[in-house]
Amino acid sequence: MAPNSSNAEESSSAGLEPSAPPPVALPEPSFDSLASAPYAHEEPIPMIDVHPPHQPVHTWKDFLIHMSAICLGLLIAIGLEQSVEYLHRRHQAREARASIQQELKENATIVQQNLTTLVADQSELAKDMDVLNSNAPDAQTLPALQYSPYLRRQHDAAWNAAKTDGSIALIAPQEIGAANYFYSSSSEPLPLVFAYIADMEAAAAIVDHARIAGKLDQSEREQLRILTASSIGRAKFLTEVAEGQSKALKRSNLDP
């Protein structure tokens, strides 16, 4: 015992600390233990239970009943859709008829005014032709010549709108026949109407120039004869068209 104590004293006297005990080895965790220990923050995932159907498989009778119910539902849905479409088309046709009828009433006034204007134009053009064919001096000829074209164009907005959206087809042909003739006879002669007005304007320009110059030379007089004769012929044709339009307007009645 004496030597051991002396050794400890020598060690302590030499300034050496006693050595630390060796570390204890901990057992390594196994994968089984990690898998079996659930994490504290995770919740168990709910499982979906799948059960077999409680009722037996449908029979042919059940199948036919089921298909009959589906077919009946489809027929009801189609019938309701067709009913709504029919009511919509009737409403659309009624609106088209009312709009066209109102437009025809306005056009009746316009046609009558154009008829009055065309008759007056023919009378004035005939006088102009007589003056041009006379040997009267320019001082008497120029004040007597009058060219003042004025024709109103018929309205066709309601008719064109009905043709665009197809509502014109919802009106019976026998009811729309007279109106169709009126609108056709209004649009087709438009080039002739413009030519008639252009001839009258050209003649008026020649007369205005001659009045400023104070004379009407032979070439201008001949040009006025041509324009006047052309205007007389076109005025007669447009008068016939307007008379036909007036008769068509009297036959057209789209009031329901």
pTM of structure: 0.65
Domain presence at residue 5:
no
Amino acid letter at 119?
V
Residue 117 in domain: yes
- Mean pLDDT across the chain: 80
How many residues make up the chain in this entry? 256
Domain that holds residue 88: 61-251
Q: Does 48 map to a domain?
A: no
What total of structural domains would you count in the chain? 1
Distance, CA of 154 to CA of 190 (rounded, Å): 10
User: Do the domain assignments include residue 47?
Assistant: no
pLDDT in tens, 123-163: 999 999 999 999 889 999 999 999 998 899 999 999 999 98
Residue 180 placed within a domain:
yes
Q: How far apart are CA 183 and CA 99, in angstroms?
A: 14
pLDDT tens for residues 8-24?
444 444 444 445 555 54
Distance CA 68, CA 63 (A): 9
In a domain, 86, yes or no: yes
Res 237 pLDDT > 50:
yes
Residue burial 33-65, b: 16+ Cβ < 10 Å; e: rest: eeeeeeeeeeeeeeeeeeeeeeeeeeeeeeeee
Asked whether residue 38 is domain-assigned, the answer is: no
The answer to whether the CB of 200 falls within 8 A of the CB of 147 is: yes
Q: Are 149 and 196 in contact (CB under 8 A)?
A: yes
DSSP letter at 189 equals T
Over residues 50-82, the pLDDT tens digits come to 444 445 546 887 777 777 878 888 888 888 787
Q: Is residue 182 part of a domain?
A: yes
